[in-house]
Amino acid sequence: MGQWIDGTRVAEEIKGEVAREAARLRAAGVQPGLAVVLVGTNPASQVYVRSKVRTSRDLGMRSETFDLPAETTTEHLLSVVRDLNARAEIHGILVQVPLPPQVDARRVLESIDPSKDVDGFHPVNVGRLVAGTAALRPCTPAGIIEMLRRYGVPLRGSRAVVIGRSDIVGKPIALLLLHEDATVTICHSKTPDLREAARQADILVVAIGRPAVVDDSYVKEGAVVIDVGMNRVDSAERVRALFGDDPKRAEDLARKGYTLVGDVDAGRVLPKAKLLTPVPGGVGPLTIAMLMANTVRAAAAAARIPVFQ
**Which residues does the annotation mark as catalytic?**
52, 96, 119
The number of beta carbons lying within 10 Å of the beta carbon of residue 241 is: 13
Given 3-state DSSP classes, what are the helix, strand and coil percentages for the chain, each rounded to the nearest 5?
45, 15, 40
Run of H or E residues at 186:
strand 183-187
37 has which bridge partners?
66, 95
Alpha carbon dihedral 287, 208, 45, 50, in 10-degree steps, equals: -20
254: amino acid identity, one letter: A
Q: Are strands 259-261 and 203-206 parallel, antiparallel or unpaired?
A: unpaired
CA distance 121 to 109: 8
According to DSSP H, which parts of the chain are helical?
A: 7-27, 43-58, 74-86, 105-110, 123-131, 139-150, 170-179, 194-198, 236-243, 247-256, 266-269, 284-303
CA distance 269 to 290: 27
